Amino acid sequence: MERFNMRTPILMFPFLALFVFGCAEMEQKPSSAEAYSNRGVSYFEKGEYDQAISDYNKAIEINPRDAKVYNNRGIAYGEKDQYDLSISDFNKAIEINPKDADAYSNRGHTYMKSGNKEKACSDWKRACELGDCRDDTIAKRKEWCE
């Protein structure tokens, strides 16, 4: 029978404390665009869209050429029914990376939510040309698009 070694937890405590306090520090003030973007995703997943947008804004200030962050912020604006801001962010993501099928797909959803079916269908078709046919296929099946 194996005996419990009390030294193991004690030796691990400094590492655990460093990890916990390090994470708490990261939660307070990230220093990189990627950290802000990742925290923004976490806020978004919890439905905290304003906090997500705030972190995406900080990530963009640090790295204004990251199409993924514009795409994510566009989705957050869409969840708040701020369609003009959402579309503007998807446009910027597409400007940075014209082969970003996700940006076309997401912009298509925003167009559809805002009542512009023609532009939605056009974006879903373009996303399909770039390799992501999910939305185009669904839209055709539902007879929203030709």
Kindly tell me the burial class for residue 47, based on how many C-beta atoms sit within 10 Å of its own C-beta (0-12, 13-18, 19 or more). Answer: exposed
**pLDDT of amino acid 14:** 41
Helix residue ranges per DSSP H, the chain: 7-28, 33-45, 49-62, 67-79, 83-96, 101-113, 117-129, 134-141
Show the domains of the chain with their CATH numbers.
32-141 (1.25.40.10)
For 68-117, how does the pLDDT look when each residue is reduced to its tens digit (9 = 90+)?
999 999 999 999 999 999 999 999 999 999 999 999 999 999 999 999 99
- Residue-level length of the chain: 146
pLDDT mean over 33-51: 97
Arithmetic mean of pLDDT, 109-135: 96
Residue 31: predicted pLDDT: 80
